Amino acid sequence: MHFDLLDPRLHDRDGFFCGEPTLDAYLRKQAGQHQRDGIATTHVLVDDIDVARILGYCSLAAAQMNLQDLRPADRKRLPGYPVPAVRIGRLAVASGEQGNGYGSLLLGHAVNCSVRLRGQLGVRVLLADALNDRAAAFYRDHGFHATTTERTRTLYLPLGKG
């Protein structure tokens, strides 16, 4: 298996089902348009033999976060303006592939993309807006922290200090 940027002509978006209708609909109806319009990129995990088959996907976009939303320890030595970030807009694994560790693999890919981007552009954190409590627990299990605001399902992962 490997990662590709979504190619609507190659990847079978209609054959992807994860069990969450909003995530299925995003991949089918909006991901390609968002990619063309520079809103978000969608990274698909595909089978090496059947590259049209999407095992899972994540979408990434530029973002920012308020400095005060970071935990005090993560605010040290940062300027007093919004913190540059990458946002995981969506992350989903095909229902027949859930439980195989692909969610962690997709998240690792998102972290790697963010760290690579950090070498070219200021990026301090990776943000995730969890769809539900189960998704929030997934992100927390991978080192994400809740923001200091009331939005308990917005989480972030510091990307290091350089």
Q: Report which secondary-structure segment, H or E, holds 22.
A: helix 21-25
Span of 80-89, 105-114, 120-129, 144-153 with lowest mean pLDDT:
144-153
Task: Kindly name the residue from 26, 57, 102, 139 that is annotated as catalytic.
Answer: 139
Output 105 or 81, whichever has higher pLDDT: 105
Active site residue 139: yes
Q: What is the pTM of this model?
A: 0.92
pLDDT digits (tens, 9 = 90+) for 84-93: 999 999 999 9
Return the pLDDT at 151: 63
CATH number of the domain bearing residue 89 = 3.40.630.30
Return the pLDDT at 30: 97
Cβ–Cβ under 8 Å, residues 145 and 156: yes
Q: How many domains does the chain contain in total?
A: 1
Return the pLDDT at 9: 94
Domain membership of residue 71 as a residue range: 2-158
Return the pLDDT at 95: 96
